[in-house]
């Protein structure tokens, strides 16, 4: 009898212990739905970097989400792009980062490596994963896990003034050799017109670097490629466009060259430039492009060996590691990043979708600018998908500018970039 009571007591103790363990685990589990216990609303904090026009679009989409999901409230905050990276890092270090953040693609692997993001491998549906374009999706994969989804993508394209090319009797260049010849025919220095214009930002050098066989940093083993022969040839070619062929203005004003490029192109001073889809709304407001069909969009011309490339840009939606509402946060991301939501950004803001299915929607197909840029994206090149990817331009642009000014040779400038990157990568 004593033995039976002892056994029952042990059994009861075991049951109570198990019950206590299950109850304790349940307290630490994240809610499986958007609702908190007691039917309270879940509030999702969302930081974004959209510009004024894009903010109007996301506001519409978020209102639709809240109407369809009355159990979830979205607290949105616009953050200036220039401040966003550091602002998120400071918030993440303090444990109060927003649930959802719109991150520039190069920031995603950095944030993941620092432990600031929550992986979403168990949340993303296979059909959604398959729907994303490969190049922008790659920036969400780091160390074997998925840390976000691509919201928008972009790349530099060759933009040209169709009227000016037609009057000169030339076609858009498909090779770098053709770029020289076409630009020469379009240049009239007496009238202050030039066939081409490029920027003093190293981001704009990359297409030439890739076209001539150069590279940045290998994402797998972090081999530095920026000072290889192809990269040097690409930089020398850019200098030759200005100094040897005279198709680029000699004046240097790096502080204002983006605005100068935009104004010069939309007023007919420059016949060809490199820029992305984000620039088209401004360009179409200019006198040269009152007729939108006058704006030509083409892939970057190929180099001597048939190589081409354009840096993939864009933004991802990520979830912070400190969120208490991971599933509700991803439910929100699914909605604001659906093909229909991406189509709204394409139609209203000329932003390029990252979903293949979005390009099949009639309203997107009918947007010529977005459709033309799709061909550019298909030939675009990934920048290094490494935690340090967002920091490479700190030394890259100043050295590139030094070469353009003649203060350093292309080889010396790129050797100095490589040396700085070795320190950055601890190599």
Residues 202 and 307 in one domain: yes
Q: Does residue 272 sit within a domain?
A: yes
Pairwise CA distance, residues 142 & 125, whole Å: 18
Q: Does residue 345 sit within a domain?
A: yes
Q: Does residue 90 sit within a domain?
A: yes
Q: Across the strands, what pairs with 314?
A: 153
Residues 320 and 260 in one domain: no
Pairwise CA distance, residues 116 & 119, whole Å: 10
Q: Which domain, by its residues, includes 332?
A: 37-153+313-377
- Which candidate, 210, 216, 205, 372, places its Cα nearest to that of 299? 372
Q: DSSP character for 140?
A: T
What does the block give as tokens for 322?
């400190």
Pairwise CA distance, residues 132 & 153, whole Å: 11
- Percent of the chain residues topping a pLDDT of 90: 86
Pairwise CA distance, residues 364 & 344, whole Å: 9
Q: Does residue 385 sit within a domain?
A: no
Residues 167 and 57 in one domain: no
Q: Does residue 349 sit within a domain?
A: yes
How many CA atoms are closer than 13 Å to the CA of 97, on its beta-carbon side? 30
Pairwise CA distance, residues 29 & 325, whole Å: 10
Pairwise CA distance, residues 163 & 161, whole Å: 6
Contact 359, 353 (CB under 8 A): yes
Least confident of 11-15, 116-120, 272-276: 11-15
Q: Does residue 284 sit within a domain?
A: yes
Give tens-digit pLDDT for 170-200. Answer: 999 999 999 999 999 999 999 999 999 999 9
The reported pTM is 0.83
CATH number of 63's domain: 3.40.190.10
Q: Give the confidence band of 281 by pLDDT, cuts at 50, 70, 90.
A: confident
* Residue 19, pLDDT score: 39
Q: Give the confidence band of 230 by pLDDT, cuts at 50, 70, 90.
A: very high
* Residue 208, pLDDT score: 98
Pairwise CA distance, residues 360 & 274, whole Å: 27
* Residue 390, pLDDT score: 87
What does the block give as tokens for 390?
């967002």
129 CB neighbour count, 10 Å cutoff: 13
Pairwise CA distance, residues 47 & 90, whole Å: 14
What does the block give as tokens for 345?
């950004």
What does the block give as tokens for 96?
């109060």
Contact 264, 198 (CB under 8 A): no
DSSP 29-89: SPPSSSPPGGGPPEEEEEEE---HHHHHHHHHHHHHHHHH-TTEEEEEEE--HHHHHHHHH
Q: Does residue 383 sit within a domain?
A: no
Residues 172 and 194 in one domain: yes
Contact 212, 306 (CB under 8 A): no
Q: Across the strands, what pairs with 296?
A: 160
Q: Does residue 74 sit within a domain?
A: yes
Residues 411 and 273 in one domain: yes
* Residue 427, pLDDT score: 79
| Average pLDDT value for residue range 283-301 | 97
Pairwise CA distance, residues 369 & 280, whole Å: 8
Contact 242, 184 (CB under 8 A): no
Residues 400 and 254 in one domain: yes
Residues 253 and 330 in one domain: no
The helix/strand/coil state of 104 is strand
The helix/strand/coil state of 367 is coil
What does the block give as tokens for 142?
């780091």
Least confident of 165-169, 328-332, 390-394: 390-394
- Percent of the chain residues topping a pLDDT of 70: 91
Residues 194 and 343 in one domain: no
Residues 62 and 207 in one domain: no
Looking at the structure of the chain, the number of domains it has is 2
Q: Give the confidence band of 408 by pLDDT, cuts at 50, 70, 90.
A: very high
Residues 296 and 327 in one domain: no
Residues 166 and 278 in one domain: yes
Pairwise CA distance, residues 90 & 71, whole Å: 30
Task: Kindly give, in sequence order, each residue whose CB lies less than 8 Å from that of residue 247, ignoring residues fewer than 6 positions away.
Answer: 180, 183, 184, 186, 187, 194, 195, 196, 241
What does the block give as tokens for 262?
């935009």
Cα distances (Å, whole numbers) of residue 56 to 250, 345, 387: 40, 10, 32
Give tens-digit pLDDT for 35-79. Answer: 455 568 999 999 999 999 999 999 999 999 999 999 999 999 999
Residues 298 and 342 in one domain: no
């Amino acid at each position: 009898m004593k033995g039976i009571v002892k056994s029952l007591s042990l059994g009861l103790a075991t049951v109570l212990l198990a019950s206590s363990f299950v109850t304790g685990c349940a307290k630490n589990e994240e809610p499986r739905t958007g609702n908190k216990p007691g039917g309270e609303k879940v509030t999702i904090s969302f930081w974004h970097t959209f510009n004024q026009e894009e903010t109007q679009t996301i506001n519409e989409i978020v209102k639709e989400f809240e109407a369809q999901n009355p159990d979830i409230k979205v607290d949105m905050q616009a953050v200036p792009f220039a401040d966003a990276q550091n602002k998120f890092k400071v918030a993440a270090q303090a444990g109060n980062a927003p649930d959802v953040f719109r991150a520039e693609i190069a920031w995603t692997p950095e944030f993941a490596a620092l432990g600031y993001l929550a992986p979403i491998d168990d949340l993303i549906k296979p059909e959604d994963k398959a729907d994303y374009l490969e190049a922008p999706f790659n920036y969400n994969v780091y160390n074997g896990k998925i840390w976000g989804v691509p919201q928008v993508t972009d790349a530099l394209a060759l933009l040209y003034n169709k009227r000016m090319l037609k009057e000169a009797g030339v076609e858009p260049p498909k090779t770098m050799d053709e770029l020289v010849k076409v630009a020469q025919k379009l240049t009239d220095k007496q009238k202050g017109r030039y066939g081409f214009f490029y920027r003093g930002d190293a981001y704009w050098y990359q297409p030439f670097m890739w076209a001539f066989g150069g590279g940045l940093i290998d994402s797998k083993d972090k081999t530095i490629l920026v000072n290889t022969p192809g990269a040097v040839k690409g930089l020398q070619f850019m200098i030759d466009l200005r100094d040897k062929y005279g198709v680029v203005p000699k004046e240097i004003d790096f502080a204002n060259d983006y605005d100068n490029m935009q104004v010069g192109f939309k007023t007919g001073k420059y016949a060809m430039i490199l820029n992305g889809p984000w620039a088209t709304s401004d360009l179409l407001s200019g006198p040269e492009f009152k007729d939108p069909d006058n704006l030509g969009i083409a892939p970057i011309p190929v180099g001597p060996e048939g190589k081409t490339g354009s840096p993939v840009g864009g933004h991802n939606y990520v979830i912070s590691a400190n969120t208490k509402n991971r599933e509700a946060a991803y439910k929100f991301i699914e909605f604001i990043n659906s093909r229909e939501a991406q189509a709204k950004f394409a139609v209203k803001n000329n932003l390029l979708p990252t979903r293949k299915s979005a390009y099949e929607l009639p309203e997107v197909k009918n947007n010529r600018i977005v459709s033309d840029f799709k061909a550019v994206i298909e030939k675009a090149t990934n920048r290094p998908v490494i935690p340090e990817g967002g920091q490479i331009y700190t030394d890259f642009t100043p050295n590139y500018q030094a070469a353009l000014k003649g203060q350093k040779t292309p080889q010396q400038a790129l050797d100095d970039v490589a040396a700085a990157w070795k320190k950055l990568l601890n190599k």
